[in-house]
Amino acid sequence: MRNIVAFRAEIVLLPWWVTYFTPMYLYLAGRLKKKGIRVVLLCINVYEHENGRLKKLLTEITLSRADALIVHSEQEKAEVLAFNPAAKVKKHLLPLFRYETSHAREQDNTLHLLFFGFVRPYKGLDVLLRAMGILRRHDISLRIAGEFWDDKGVYIGLIDELGISDKVELIDRYVSDQEMGRFFEEADLVVLPYRRTRTSGVIATAYGFAKPVLATDVGGFREVIRDGYTGKIVAPDSPEAIAEGITWFLNHRDVDFAKNVATFAAKEMSWRSLAAMVETS
């Protein structure tokens, strides 16, 4: 606290996504406000994905103590205003995440798909696997990179049942930044078959590597994916819809998605515009 005051800070920006931070943030907000320093919370998520009554209450108490909030989707903005109509809340899409890599995959005719991040039931990996089963005769591959939060055996059993073990690579462990960069560089398409969500840093990371995204129409995905331009939006919880989306990319490999992503991100997802929003919050 002494260092913050000595620095003559006018605004303290704090990231928010879990109620673990509640005691510390309530303490900081109280002390900082007494010093005339504004507190802005950058909400990666407003509510946690597994959000019980206590977590919901702690979230609303903590967020109500901030001078301003920045969220990443209209859905989350509406959620904040629902419990605190007087809140000063702005929306800015997640800015690009970029990781350096020097690896380049040899070009081939296969459409290489990437599912990245913790494997949790709401992310719909089983739906994607069933879509792979529908398209098992097509020239596609799927790399799954991320630790499993539930029974990995269920997914392995599904892969065997669908007869797609030759098309699926499973990497069930922590992935370093360097390795992650290689996975994104080698992908032609990043897939988010989520059943529900609000936002996802995976899209910002995919865009950082100039990769298109196939995602379901949940949460704020439609705000960050321009259908047919930077990616494709399909119905959630439907293997057939995911399969149709993959087929669309197979039939549109001539589209310059890298250029489209760069154009969209420069306008909507820059760190400079986020910094300007913080300064005026």
Q: Name the amino acid, one letter, at 217.
A: D
Domain shared by 128 and 241, yes or no: yes
> What is the Cβ-side half-sphere exposure of residue 127, based on CA atoms within 13 angstroms?
26
When divided into structural domains, the chain yields a total of 2
Domain shared by 83 and 122, yes or no: no
- Residue of 16, 87, 112 whose CA lies nearest to 58: 16
Domain that holds residue 152: 111-266
Residues 6+ apart with CB under 8 A from 208: 96, 97, 98, 99, 184
Considering the domain boundaries, does residue 106 fall inside one?
A: no
Domain shared by 82 and 180, yes or no: no
Considering the domain boundaries, does residue 115 fall inside one?
A: yes
Domain shared by 127 and 182, yes or no: yes
pLDDT of residue 23: 97
pLDDT of residue 101: 62
pLDDT over 90 for what percent of the chain?
85
Give the domain-ending residue among 91, 120, 143. Answer: 91
Q: Name the amino acid, one letter, at 51.
A: N
Tell which wins on pLDDT, 191 or 98: 191
Which CATH number covers residue 173?
Answer: 3.40.50.2000
Domain shared by 54 and 127, yes or no: no
Domain shared by 117 and 76, yes or no: no
Domain shared by 219 and 178, yes or no: yes
pLDDT of residue 99: 67
Q: Name the amino acid, one letter, at 221.
A: F
How far apart, in whole angstroms, are the C-alpha atoms of residue 24 and residue 271? 27
Full-model pTM: 0.89
pLDDT of residue 103: 63
Say if strands 111-116 and 231-234 run parallel, antiparallel, or are unpaired.
unpaired
Domain shared by 43 and 173, yes or no: no
Backbone angles phi, psi at 151, to 5 degrees: -70, 110
> What is the Cβ-side half-sphere exposure of residue 17, based on CA atoms within 13 angstroms?
9
